[in-house]
């Protein structure tokens, strides 16, 4: 019995449980993409038992955590600033540090970025500027990578109203696709970053954008529950092996004494 194998099993299945728990915790997170742990056996060592070589392993390790990307289901909300990006498309975001990321979470908001300007007589010279942002205050970008200024409806007399021109806004939001979305790297806050494996973001003029809807999380609770039970069994098995090894070692030492 190899206590090293038991110890690595305990640590690996604990890490695997962390991955599963994180997926389950995000079952209601808009646009969330789950992860799957990939396990691999450790190096084998050859021992000579009475001139007969025998290989024995050193347990298991977590090789990587795979990003499981699929287009999520649409959830109709009826909210005017909620958007659903179909056809495996992503929204582009510029975060508060000026870095660019991509997201599937389309629950947007608007924020005022420039104050109105008035002349000495109190007449409006420059109207306020409102722009489209997401919950982390990152700016949503258009197909050219520019901030999106909210368009307002202009009245018959040429006066700009306070009503958002949603049809125009919908046409301004950039949608981006990747040759290999599985290669994107999750960085938290519903953000994904480009990697060499994913390829560069490509602005799409064919991906469908729907207003008044969001993308659901891809987490399947039934699958996560099955994975959790299997992982718990494996974890318990390794605990028992380590316990048995300790008891056997104690017994042998007592016999020697």
How much is the pLDDT for 47? 61
What angle separates helix 221-256 from helix 3-25, to the nearest 10 degrees? 160
44: confidence class by pLDDT, cuts 50, 70, 90 = low
Tens of pLDDT, residue by residue over 127-143, are: 889 999 999 999 999 99
Distances, alpha carbon 185 to alpha carbons 15, 33, 35, 102, 161, in Å: 19, 11, 11, 10, 42
* Pairwise CA distance, residues 39 & 24, whole Å: 20
Q: Is the dihedral of CA 221, 223, 226, 228 positive or negative?
A: negative
What the block records as the tokens of 231 is 């992982």
Under DSSP, is residue 141 helix (H, G, I), strand (E, B) or coil? strand
How much is the pLDDT for 85? 96
What single-letter DSSP state applies at residue 149?
B
- Lowest mean pLDDT of 39-53, 72-86, 150-164, 188-202, name the range: 39-53
Tens of pLDDT, residue by residue over 210-234, are: 999 999 999 999 999 999 999 999 9
pLDDT at 257 over 60: no
User: Which residue matches tokens 């300790």?
Assistant: 246
How much is the pLDDT for 119? 80
Cα torsion 49, 55, 59, 60 to 10°: value is: 180
* Pairwise CA distance, residues 237 & 235, whole Å: 5
Please compute, for residue 164, the number of CA atoms within 13 A of its CA located in the half-sphere on the CB side: 17
Per-range mean pLDDT, top range of 2-6, 156-160, 181-185: 181-185
In the chain, where the domains are located: 3-67+221-256, 74-215
* Average model confidence (pLDDT) across the chain: 88
Q: Which helix H or strand E contains 111, and what residues bound it?
A: strand 109-114
Under DSSP, is residue 241 helix (H, G, I), strand (E, B) or coil? helix
User: Which residue matches tokens 């808009």?
Assistant: 30
194: confidence class by pLDDT, cuts 50, 70, 90 = very high
User: Which residue matches tokens 């979470």?
Assistant: 105
How much is the pLDDT for 248? 78
How much is the pLDDT for 56? 67
How much is the pLDDT for 45? 66
* Pairwise CA distance, residues 240 & 237, whole Å: 5
57: confidence class by pLDDT, cuts 50, 70, 90 = low
DSSP 88-102: T-EEEEE-TTS-EEE
What the block records as the tokens of 84 is 């659903």
What the block records as the tokens of 48 is 């000579």
Q: Which of 129, 139, 135 is nearest to 99 (CA)?
A: 139
pLDDT at 1 over 60: no
11: confidence class by pLDDT, cuts 50, 70, 90 = confident
How much is the pLDDT for 5? 80
């Amino acid at each position: 019995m190899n206590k090293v194998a038991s110890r690595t099993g305990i640590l690996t299945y604990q890490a695997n449980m962390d991955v599963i728990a994180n997926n389950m915790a995000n079952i209601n997170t808009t646009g969330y993409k789950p992860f799957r742990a990939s396990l691999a056996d450790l190096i084998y060592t050859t021992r000579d038992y009475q001139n007969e070589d025998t290989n024995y392993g050193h347990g298991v390790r977590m090789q990587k955590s795979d990003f499981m990307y699929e287009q999520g289901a649409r959830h109709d909300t009826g909210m005017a600033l909620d958007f659903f990006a179909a056809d495996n498309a992503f929204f582009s975001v510029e975060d508060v540090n000026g870095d660019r990321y991509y997201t599937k979470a389309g629950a947007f908001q608007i924020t005022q970025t420039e104050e109105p300007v008035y002349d000495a007589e109190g007449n409006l010279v420059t109207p306020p500027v409102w722009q489209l942002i997401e919950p982390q205050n990152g700016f949503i970008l258009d197909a050219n990578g520019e901030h999106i200024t909210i368009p307002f409806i202009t009245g018959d007399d040429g006066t700009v109203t306070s009503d958002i021109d949603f049809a125009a806004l919908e046409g301004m939001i950039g949608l981006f696709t990747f040759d290999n979305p599985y290669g994107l790297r999750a960085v938290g806050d519903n953000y994904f970053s480009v990697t060499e494996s994913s390829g560069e973001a490509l602005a799409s003029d064919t991906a469908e954008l729907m207003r008044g809807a969001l993308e659901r999380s891809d987490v399947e609770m039934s699958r996560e529950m099955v994975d959790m039970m299997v992982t718990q069994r494996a974890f318990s098995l390794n605990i028992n092996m380590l316990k048995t090894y300790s008891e056997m070692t104690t017994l042998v030492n007592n016999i020697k004494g």
